[in-house]
């Protein structure tokens, strides 16, 4: 293990896009902190990262909890090394039409996506600015452009775009870039749960979605992981404050 190995933090990495991203970053030579609500649930991702020949650490953390975020980042710095890459990916859905949306549905979604990204970024940026190098990637969504039944989620995902642009402006002089990825339909447990909620078989749901997508397929977690790999690379050092729509077509 080289002393120059960079440390990456991926939240919501027990499964889905976060897990694929953690594995891809391991392949790219990063040591990876695999963060999720339940530390035990991170075991499979940790193993998959280690299979790529990289170090990995399972970290249980609720990204919306300030004290736990501070403790998690301290532990990552002590056990893996100071983190210089952060992928804010943890997310939840609480879909409902506006007139049926509860206070809790609103607060929970804003709290995990927006407050979570804020708390994680505030904690990790200290290590990035000290190192004079850093990469932040925030998971937005095509829902930022508006999506029926998602006033909470679309507000959070649009908010993350503004958050990203301001990070780019504030942190650029420290060698830190910040970008957002706005995925379209990606086949994960999140979209499977949406299909179940509306009572449609997941395969039929994906087929119907693919018909509306110019490249005629739904996305995979690896599609997003590949875009993250570029945005955290040296090659992307002059790309900052951007929102990359990874949606199989022009969504913005």
Nearer to ligand NAP, 133 or 230 (CB): 230
DSSP-derived 3-state class of residue 4: coil
Nearer to ligand NAP, 115 or 165 (CB): 115
Which one of 23-31, 34-42, 172-180, 197-205 is the stretch in contact with ligand NAP (CB under 6 A)?
34-42
State yes or no: residue 38 binds ligand NAP (CB under 6 A): yes
CB of 45 to ligand NAP, least distance (A): 9
Nearer to ligand NAP, 5 or 147 (CB): 147
Q: Give the angle subtended at the CA of 220 by the CAs of 218 and 221, to the nearest 5°.
A: 145
Interface with ligand NAP (CB under 6 A), residue from 12, 26, 149, 248 = 12
CB of 191 to ligand NAP, least distance (A): 5
State yes or no: residue 104 binds ligand NAP (CB under 6 A): no
Which residue in 54, 65, 53 sits closest to 11, CA to CA?
65
Interface with ligand NAP (CB under 6 A), residue from 83, 91, 134, 159 = 91
What is the gyration radius of the CA atoms in the chain, in angstroms? 17
Place of tokens 């790219």: 28
Which residue in 199, 181, 207 sits closest to 117, CA to CA?
181
Do the beta carbons of residue 17 and residue 89 sit within 8 Å? Answer: yes
State yes or no: residue 195 binds ligand NAP (CB under 6 A): no
Give dist(CA 135, CA 20) in Å, integer. 18
State yes or no: residue 112 binds ligand NAP (CB under 6 A): yes
Give dist(CA 15, CA 56) in Å, integer. 15
In the DSSP assignment, the letter for residue 39 is: G
Other CB atoms within 10 A of residue 217 CB: 15
Respond yes or no: is residue 153 known to be catalytic. yes
State yes or no: residue 76 binds ligand NAP (CB under 6 A): no
With CB under 6 A as the rule, give the number of residues binding ligand NAP.
Answer: 28
State yes or no: residue 86 binds ligand NAP (CB under 6 A): no
Do the beta carbons of residue 60 and residue 45 sit within 8 Å? Answer: no
The catalytic residue among 30, 106, 153, 185 is 153
Give dist(CA 193, CA 53) in Å, integer. 33
Residue numbers 130-189 binding ligand NAP by CB under 6 A: 139, 141, 183, 185-186, 188-189
The residues that are catalytic are 153
Q: Kindly list the residues in this chain that would bind ligand NAP in the complex (CB under 6 A).
A: 11-12, 14-18, 36-38, 62-64, 89-92, 112, 116, 139, 141, 183, 185-186, 188-191
């Amino acid at each position: 293990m080289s002393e120059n190995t960079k440390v990456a933090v991926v939240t919501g990495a027990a499964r889905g896009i976060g897990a694929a991203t953690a594995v891809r970053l391991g392949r790219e030579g990063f040591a990876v902190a695999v963060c999720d609500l339940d530390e035990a649930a991170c075991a499979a991702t940790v193993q998959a990262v280690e299979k790529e020949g990289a170090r990995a650490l399972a970290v249980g953390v609720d990204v919306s909890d300030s004290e736990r975020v501070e403790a998690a980042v301290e532990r990552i710095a002590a056990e893996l090394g100071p983190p210089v890459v952060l992928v804010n990916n943890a997310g939840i859905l609480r879909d409902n039409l506006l007139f049926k949306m509860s206070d809790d549905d609103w607060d929970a979604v804003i709290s995990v996506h927006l407050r979570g990204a804020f708390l994680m970024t505030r904690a990790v940026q200290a290590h990035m600015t000290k190192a004079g190098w850093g990469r932040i990637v925030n998971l937005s969504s095509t829902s930022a452009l508006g999506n029926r039944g998602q006033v909470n989620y679309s507000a959070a995902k649009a908010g993350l775009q503004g958050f990203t642009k301001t990070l780019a402006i504030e942190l650029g002089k420290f060698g830190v870039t910040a970008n957002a990825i706005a995925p379209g339909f990606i086949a994960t447990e999140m979209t499977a749960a949406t299909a179940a909620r509306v009572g449609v078989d997941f395969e039929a749901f994906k087929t119907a979605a693919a018909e509306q997508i110019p490249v005629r397929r739904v996305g995979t977690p690896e599609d997003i992981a590949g875009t993250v790999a570029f945005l955290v690379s040296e090659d992307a050092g002059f790309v900052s404050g951007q929102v990359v729509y990874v949606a199989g077509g022009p969504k913005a």
